[in-house]
Every structure is written in C-alpha cells, then in structure tokens.
Amino acid sequence: MKLRDVPRHFATPLVNPAYPPVVPQFTNREYLNIVYRTDADALRTVVPEPLEIDEPLVRFEVMRMGDVTGYGPYTEAGQAIEVRYEGERGEYLHAMYLDNFPATASGREASAYPKTVGSPALYADHGALVGVLDYGSLRVATATMGYKHYAMDAEEAAAQIAVPTYMLKLVPGFDGAPQVAQLVRSEITDVVVKEAWTGPARLQLFAHVLAPMADLPVREVVSASHVLTDLTLSPVKPVHDYLTR
C-alpha cells in the first residue's frame, strides 16, 4: 500500500474496518428513560469542568435500536447526567454499555461516546416495561415502568432525548501522555416521535467494580418515559481543549 493511500482509510483493520463510514440513522429506536435524583457529591467526582451541575439528576436509559444504518439492531444502556455549559442545558454522557461491537468501536473512535461492552435488554413483562443491564454474568441495573399507563406529549418526549450531549474525547499517545483531551458536544436531530408514554417507575442499581453505575445511587425517582422514535446522530464538535487552556 502506497504512503498516500494509508490516510484514505478511516479505521483498522485496513481491509476489514471495525465499523462502516456512515452517519447512523435510527429507525424505531425505543427508549426507557428513568430520571432520578442522586448525591451531589457523587456527581462532582465524575462530572468534568467546565461543565456545571445544578440539580443532582441522572437519566438512566435503556435503548433498543430497531434498525441502524451500518450496524443493524442492538441494545444499549447508560447514564446521562444533567449539566450546563456556558448557560446551555444539556447532558454529560457518563457511561454506555452495548451488545454490538461495531457500534461500540465507532462510538469511541470516530466520536467520543463512553461506550463499552455489556448485555442490556428491553422488554415487556406482565404489564411492566423492563430494562436491564448485565455485565458478564452479573446484574448491574433493573428498571421497571408501568407499560403505557399515560400518554405523554410528543414535544416533551422529543425535548427530553434531543438535548445537547457532552462527552470526553481522550486519546493517549504512545508514551501514555494525553494526545487528545477535549470536551465535545453532539446532539440528536431529525427526531420523529411515534409513541410516548409515562407512568410509575422503579430503578435498582447493583455494585460492580467494572460497571460502577451504583456509584451514582438512586435517592428518588423523578420521572419516567417510554418513547419510540426515529432520529439521526449529528457529528461531534470540540468545545473545550484541556491541553491548550
């Protein structure tokens, strides 16, 4: 392979990249969202400046992707923390667990999503919508919500999932020193809400050293939603460079 040809490739392995060069479009993306109040001190230890915290609120989410360009169906679970950046309200993506390697690799390398492996699931069970996350053979999270108890305003549902999201892009050099250290911003676009529901909900988090979701403990469940939507993920943009400021 010629020198000039190497930069034309976007990922390794060169002849079989770990993920495709696509802007993901999601069809029938189904959410279970549970917003809960946690300990403010716990948030301060994990939310990086210059992001700011008002109320100590976390959104636990389980997402079943009905169809995704380039990746196919998969399921994802994670935690998003309510924050502000320069007066704009958004969410800091704290942790994401997937059962699809190409989507995991793409999210980490091409963007900055804090994705790692896990076994999430979303399903209905005897009148309850159930979202779970296992890490290996152990349960990390169990969320339950009354199945389609009350219709939810579509605009309210879209606003909940389409807030700006902030992530850390951290790439070490070969000597272990940071080569890239940026706070980046992304958002969801082209949102079409097909169904939206709310109802009573509960959330249990279980301690695991490699999936420490319980380090942000549940003190009070604030709200819950069940949303079915189509959407697009926009590319990330750097908003703060930790190596130059």
Catalytic residues: 115
* DSSP structure class, residue 224: E
Give me 120's structure tokens. Answer: 């999430």
Q: Which residues of 10-38 are buried (b: 16+ CB within 10 A; e: fewer)?
A: ebeeeeebebeeeebebeebbbbbbbbeb
Pair 30, 77: CB distance under 8 Å: no
List the end-to-end C-alpha distance of the chain, in Å, as a whole number.
39
DSSP character at residue 52: B
Q: Which residues pair with 52 in a beta bridge?
A: 84
How buried is residue 177: exposed, middle or buried, by Cβ count under 10 Å (0-12/13-18/19+)?
Answer: exposed
Tokens describing residue 72: 């196919």
